[in-house]
A and B are shown apart, each in its own frame.
Chain A
Amino acid sequence: DAGVTQSPTHLIKTRGQQVTLRCSPKSGHDTVSWYQQALGQGPQFIFQYYEEEERQRGNFPDRFSGHQFPNYSSELNVNALLLGDSALYLCASSQTGGNTEAFFGQGTRLTVV
């Protein structure tokens, strides 16, 4: 099991552009959460997907949207990129129900110039 995989690992975009980040959860996991980690800060919850629907959302604008596919993989989309969106984006997967551990991917480093 490769664990949680994210792609791409690094990305450079121009202000105003749109970006899509991808995440494949750990085998057996059905829930995917996305976090933004700015430099020197702890990860901040963006949203969580379960059964192909957004189940919970953090304090992020509508420019941040996502999707979950039937195979449980997920995408994070950010529109109208701002310089402040530059961060490490982490995906975490877990199994809903019970006290299960969240496993994190290596992250995608997004730089907006």
Chain B
Amino acid sequence: AQRVTQPEKLLSVFKGAPVELKCNYSYSGSPELFWYVQYSRQRLQLLLRHISRESIKGFTADLNKGETSFHLKKPFAQEEDSAMYYCALAGGTSYGKLTFGQGTILTVHP
């Protein structure tokens, strides 16, 4: 069975502070991990995926298979980063079926 856990429902930081949104997963095979973001009044959109290993809007995430984690990090948070963030997993043979975590609301204070 696939499972994604985001332990923090809410996360508040001040502008310029580092931020880390935690994500742990459970999957027996080789998963594909994603971070999706939903800004206020906008649709869910892909932020980054582990296979591309790129940095988007200053965010990075490294897949740690030993700890089954895929934490999202940014060294200096900006007010425009305030949003709902979802970690999601797609199994190797799932044809893109996504299993989402419950989400973390990030608030960046000025």
**Which residues of A come within 8 Å of B, CB atoms?**
4, 31, 33, 35, 40-45, 48, 50, 55-56, 58, 90, 92, 94, 96, 99-107
B44 touches A90 (CB 8 A): yes
CB distance from A91 to the nearest CB of B (A): 10
Q: Which residues of B contact A4 (CB under 8 A)?
A: 43
Q: Which residues of A contact B64 (CB under 8 A)?
A: none
B96 touches A48 (CB 8 A): yes
Q: Which residues of B contact A48 (CB under 8 A)?
A: 95-97
Complex: how many Å from CA A106 to CA B41? 9
Q: How many residues of B contact A (CB 8 A)?
A: 21
B100 touches A107 (CB 8 A): no
Give 11 A-B contacts (CB < 8 Å), ordered by A residue. Answer: A42-B86, A42-B101, A45-B97, A45-B99, A50-B95, A56-B94, A56-B95, A94-B96, A100-B96, A102-B96, A102-B98
B13 within 8 A of A: no
Complex: how many Å from CA A105 to CA B97? 16
Known: A43-B100, A99-B51, A106-B43. 12 other contacts (CB 8 A): A4-B43, A31-B95, A40-B102, A42-B6, A42-B86, A42-B100, A48-B95, A56-B95, A94-B96, A96-B96, A99-B49, A107-B43
